[in-house]
Amino acid sequence: MKIYDNPGREQWASLTARNAIESAPVGEVVSSIITRVREEGDSALFDFCRTIDGVSLTSLEVSEAEIESACERVSPELKASIESARDHILRFHEAQRMSPVRVETMPGVCCYQRAVPIDQVGLYVPGGSAPLFSTVLMLAVPAFIAGCRHVVMCTPPDKSGSVNDLILFSARLCGVTHIYKVGGAQAIAAMAYGTESIPKVNKIFGPGNRYVTEAKQQVSRTEVSIDMPAGPSEVLVMADETAYPEFVASDLLSQAEHGPDSQALLVTSSHAFAEQVMNCVEQQKQILSRASIIDQSLANSRIIVLDSREKMTDFANCYAAEHLIVSMENPWDIVSHITSAGSIFVGNYTPESAGDYASGTNHTLPTYGWARSCSGVNLDSFTKKITIQEITPDGLQCLGPIVESMAQAESLTAHRNAIAVRMKTLNSKKC
């Protein structure tokens, strides 16, 4: 990790830059996968399972028996941990319910806003090097709180045709009953267009590799909504002399192990602290299992030394981190000035990994600078807000002339006419 001492603001654009993501070659591969799934349905999915996942399946849906025996294999201790995490996520997302809005904007004109669940949602849970069962909790818990009626899940099978026990246990715990052994771009296509086995959904959630992300972007142009654009995971740690270098080092490392393209930034008030953190990183790395991934992602990482809390805060806002750790004196004062971040971790005893699993916040968060304009997954993500209005005859007598004059000024005479025919009826009733 390179240390940059008090870089001028003209250098911030390059210091807040993410690793470039290539997408052109992936785009064509993904679009051909989508076309095949649309045209051939299940038969294309079975074929991709053979050629990509290396397994011949006889059924795409995970059976009840498979789920039961998976659950039996999970240790009671781990079950209890997952259940606690589920409870925390449930409690925090339950509290996000909006109150229905009702406003009488003028006498006789009532406007309402209600959150209504999205009927059919699809959850994608990656397989691969680590079985991300925590993602099941993060997506399925709010889906059911929101009231989505149909929740389906796709996840790739392993070489033996099975799905990881912890993924199945977590799905069962959250109430997901329809789970399909399909991964990659083909899973996204199946949920977007529907096949014989897999129902078409209205919105697709979940992380994935470049193929999955590209597929989500392609299907979202015409068919379904998606949770957010996803890029490599990232953390920015703000730390002053009140922070512990060994804690900061552990947070940078936990980000770095996600993947070779992950990015970890440290913004600190002290060069000496930066050096201490680098020493701790070297020490702690020795005992970790994913050292080669960590080495690659640390190559994308930076330490920035800045000489004021204001500059440090500005830099953090400029970067718009997915995860922002604030290990500073008076951290809530900093937090109140943060304008862009996915999720914020306050103080020395709030590591990112707590939020990744079990504090209660969602870990599906905007990366790659999207935190400037996008929220992480939350209860809202599984609903749409519908507005309703009701106008009484007396209300229309007052509002009508306003609408008529505006419609006339926009040259939309049929809009004016819709008021006029009603006013005429009201006036004739009066006589």
- The closest of 250, 237, 251 to 321, measured between CA atoms, is 237
Could you confirm whether 40 is annotated as catalytic? no
Q: Which stretch binds a copy of itself (CB under 8 A): 1-9, 33-41, 308-316, 384-392?
A: 384-392
Integer Cα distance of 376 and 69 in angstroms: 34
Residue among 49 and 377 whose Cβ is closer to a copy of itself: 377
Structure tokens that stand for 175 in this block? 């109430």
Pick from 10, 22, 72, 77 the residue near a copy of itself by CB under 8 A.
77
Answer yes or no: are the C-beta atoms of 122 and 140 closer than 8 Å.
no
Q: Taking the complex as a whole, how short is the minimal distance between the CB of residue 14 and a copy of itself, in angstroms?
A: 16
Phi-psi region of 397 (alpha: psi -120 to 50; beta: other; left: phi over 0): alpha
Residue among 49 and 140 whose Cβ is closer to a copy of itself: 140
H/E stretch holding 180: strand 178-181
Here's the x/- map for a copy of itself, 262-291, by CB under 8 A: it reads as ----------------------x--xxxx-
Residue among 20 and 58 whose Cβ is closer to a copy of itself: 20
Tell whether residue 428 is a contact of a copy of itself (CB under 8 A): no
Q: Which stretch binds a copy of itself (CB under 8 A): 39-47, 49-57, 88-96, 176-184?
A: 88-96
Tell whether residue 350 is a contact of a copy of itself (CB under 8 A): yes
Integer Cα distance of 393 and 109 in angstroms: 10
Kindly state the number of chain residues that form the binding site for a copy of itself, as judged by CB under 8 A.
127
Q: Taking the complex as a whole, how short is the minimal distance between the CB of residue 221 and a copy of itself, in angstroms?
A: 6
Q: Which of residues 287-316 bind a copy of itself (CB under 8 A)?
A: 287-290, 294
Answer yes or no: are the C-beta atoms of 68 and 163 closer than 8 Å.
no
Tell whether residue 355 is a contact of a copy of itself (CB under 8 A): yes
- The closest of 57, 27, 53, 55 to 42, measured between CA atoms, is 57
The bridge status of strand 383-391 relative to strand 203-205 is unpaired
Q: Taking the complex as a whole, how short is the minimal distance between the CB of residue 2 and a copy of itself, in angstroms?
A: 21
Structure tokens that stand for 16 in this block? 């807040």
Pick from 38, 111, 197, 309 the residue near a copy of itself by CB under 8 A.
111
Q: Of these residues, 223, 323, 352, 363, which one is catalytic?
A: 323
Residues 6+ apart with CB under 8 A from 410: none
Integer Cα distance of 153 and 164 in angstroms: 13
Tell whether residue 31 is a contact of a copy of itself (CB under 8 A): no
Pick from 36, 309, 311, 422 the residue near a copy of itself by CB under 8 A.
422
Integer Cα distance of 194 and 136 in angstroms: 21
Q: Which of residues 119-148 bind a copy of itself (CB under 8 A)?
A: 119, 129-134
| Residue 64 backbone dihedrals phi, psi, to 5 degrees | -55, -40
Tell whether residue 406 is a contact of a copy of itself (CB under 8 A): yes
Structure tokens that stand for 196 in this block? 């014989």
Could you confirm whether 322 is annotated as catalytic? yes
Q: Taking the complex as a whole, how short is the minimal distance between the CB of residue 51 and a copy of itself, in angstroms?
A: 26
Rounded to whole angstroms, what are the CA distances from 119 to 150, 160, 203?
Answer: 6, 33, 9
Rounded to whole angstroms, what are the CA distances from 402 to 66, 107, 381, 389, 425?
Answer: 64, 14, 36, 16, 18
Pick from 64, 68, 103, 307 the residue near a copy of itself by CB under 8 A.
103
Residue 124, classed as helix, strand or coil, is strand
Tell whether residue 19 is a contact of a copy of itself (CB under 8 A): no
Residue among 49 and 317 whose Cβ is closer to a copy of itself: 317
Q: Which of residues 146-165 bind a copy of itself (CB under 8 A)?
A: none
Integer Cα distance of 425 and 185 in angstroms: 57
Q: Taking the complex as a whole, how short is the minimal distance between the CB of residue 260 and a copy of itself, in angstroms?
A: 14
Integer Cα distance of 352 and 363 in angstroms: 9
Residue among 181 and 416 whose Cβ is closer to a copy of itself: 416
Q: Of these residues, 223, 234, 257, 322, which one is catalytic?
A: 322
| Residue 235 backbone dihedrals phi, psi, to 5 degrees | -135, 145
Q: Taking the complex as a whole, how short is the minimal distance between the CB of residue 46 and a copy of itself, in angstroms?
A: 26
Residue among 319 and 345 whose Cβ is closer to a copy of itself: 345
Catalytically active residues, by annotation = 322-323
